[in-house]
Structure 1
Amino acid sequence: MEPIGRVFARDFSAARHTVDSRDGRDGSHVVTPGGAWCRRLFIVGALTECRGSGDVMQARIADPTGTFRVSADWQSPDVVETLGYIEPPAFVAVTGRATLNGSGSRAYAAVDAEAINVVDRTARDIWVLATAGATLGRLEALEKALGGGGDERAATVIGLYGTTGKDIQDKAGMVRTALASVLPDLAVGEIAPVAGRDLLLAAIEDEGGARGIPESDAVALGVRSGLSARDAQRALEELLAAGECYQPASGMIKPI
């Protein structure tokens, strides 16, 4: 399984180069000035804008350092549908493929989304902490490479971007800015998985009235609870099959 990288938006959006894999068969990496080699990414931030229709959606997702450009098309229909149910602003987690579009000064890095889910502030803060640690590790490698040591990837980054000690200090400042946004005394405990149908049932019970709610609203509730649109629809079918919900009228859902 290909590892999934973590990178802050400010560093990722400054990427202007790609490097092919050694064997040429596994595609290319988007290489950032901060030393990240990105092929697939996991990002968590605030969905601030979402637009599009049909099979194509464009979104902007902000972390404490900047904004990611995110897109989804017919190759990821569940992402397209899920985005249609999410009303900005909302914290979301996205897994996707890193791409570099255009060339030269017009080039811009983006993420082709493969999966998206609504999350909470704690999930965002945990991502910031993990991404800060990964970024500092890459900056240390760049610093060593400037002194003649370090690894091959760090040396390649310096060659591509002409990295200086001041550039590394600037990126370290970016990390400090991100960490300042994390809630104090964040405690990361055990996170127990919750079945999709249980999440959806709880949401329907909280929001449903005497007549129940429309099926489309039930799916929207599932998405806002952290499910994808496809998983919310599957959970709804499970609730109906298990007799925990019923349809008082066509297109309406109500818990027993």
Structure 2
Amino acid sequence: MVAFLRREVARRVFARELMDSSYTIRDEFEKSPVYVLTPLGLKCNRVFIIGVLAEKEEVGEEGNVYRVRILDQTGSFVGYVGRFQPEAYEALEEIDILTLVATTAKVRVFEGETRKFVFIRPETISPADPESRDYWVVETAVHTLERIREMKRGESENARLAKEIYNTNLEEYKSMVKEAVMRLMEDYAEVEEDKEEGEEEITLEEIVKKLNSFLDVEEEEEIDLMKLLEE
């Protein structure tokens, strides 16, 4: 029987969750890709991320590989781009450090003598705009909170396996999501500048409302982040 290979979905995941991962899974059929299981039970082979290109360094004897570090609101993704990824390699040559970038990447695991190390291999990389980054953060926050909810229920096999392997502290990841969303407001400096003396600090609920308004999201498609955070 021939197993037809399909392109894996590029998952939305924050840097901290992905980089905290170490466990890998391979399906039973021949030539199955290797998946990474995250501490929140996400089984992924490809990811889509938007963040700041913090580092771009040529490595290797012939300097034909770039080591990159991309920052999001929770940490950094470390990746390698070589000539076997020509589209990403050529694009990266033209992108400056500290540029906001969007990338679709394969997830890989390097097994050292003492630990496993997760890294990404970008397939595509291109400059991104702040609005896309903001929506990615909120969308990824929602996906992360949904995974936390699944972990609490413990109904899926991946959730149970992740809990067993990582002994995941769900409250830590929930706090990570809150902090990631709060940091979005750092890009809206005018909000803080217009704040009157003694005025109360902006709440997370107000942030989400502002983001939905700013991103021109239809009412029926508004991100229900507050409900997920309360669970």
TM-score (norm. length: structure 2): 0.74
1:128 to 115, 126, 137: 137
* Matched-pair contact (CA < 8 Å) for 2:40–2:159: no
SS in 2 for 1:58: strand
Q: Return structure 1 stretches of 4+ with deviation > 6 angstroms.
A: none
Please name the residue that 2:27 is paired with.
21
Q: What corresponds to 2:157 in structure 1?
A: 152
With over 3 angstroms needed to count, the CA separation of the structure-2 counterparts of 1:141 and 1:105, relative to structure 1, is farther
Q: Gapped runs of 5+ residues in structure 2?
A: 1-6, 186-206, 218-231
Equivalence for 1:57 = 66
Code of the residue aligned with 1:176 in structure 2: it is K
Task: Tell me which residue corresponds to 2:166.
Answer: 161
CA distance in 2, matches of 1:24, 1:129: 37
1:188 and 2:220 are equivalent in the alignment = no
- Relative distance call for 1:152 and 1:41 in structure 2 (3 A) is same
Q: Residues 16 and 104 of structure 1 are in contact (CA less than 8 Å); yes or no, is this contact kept in structure 2?
A: no
Q: Which residue in 1 is equivalent to 2:122? A: 113
| Distance verdict in 2 for CA 1:124–1:108, change over 3 Å | same
Identity over aligned pairs, percent: 30
Q: Deviation of residue 121 (structure 1)?
A: 1.4
Measured after TM superposition, the shift of residue 21 of structure 1 is 1.9
Contact 1:19 1:28 in 2 (8 A): yes
Aligned in 2, Cα 1:103/1:32: closer, same or farther, shift over 3 Å? farther
| Among 157, 178, 181, the residue aligned to 1:179 | 181
User: Structure 1, unaligned stretches of length 5 or more?
Assistant: 191-256
Is the 8 Å Cα contact of residues 68 and 80 (structure 2) preserved in structure 1?
yes
Q: Does 1:4 align with 2:10?
A: yes
CA distance in 2, matches of 1:36, 1:22: 18
Shift in Å, 1:104? 6.7
1:48 partner SS? strand
C-alpha contact 1:55 1:80 (8 A) present in aligned 2: no
Return the offset for 1:136. Answer: 0.6
Number of positions where the alignment pairs a residue of Structure 1 with one of Structure 2:
183
Q: Secondary structure at the match of 1:86?
A: coil
Distance apart, 1:141 and its partner CA: 0.9
Q: Whole-Å Cα distance in 2 between the matches of residues 44 and 24 of structure 1?
A: 33
Q: The residue matched to 1:7 in structure 2 has which SS?
A: coil
Which structure would you say has the larger Rg? 1
Tell me the distance in 1 between the aligned counterparts of 2:92 and 2:147.
Answer: 32
Between the aligned partners of 1:47 and 1:78, the Cα distance in structure 2 is 17
Q: Note if 1:36 corresponds to 2:63.
A: no
Letter in 1 for 2:171: Q
SS at 2:184's partner residue?
coil
The letter of the residue matching 1:111 is I
Question: What is the Cα deviation at residue 35 of structure 1?
Answer: 2.0
State the secondary structure of the residue aligned to 1:181.
Answer: helix
Structural RMSD (CA): 1.7
Structure 1 position 85 matched with structure 2 position 112 = no
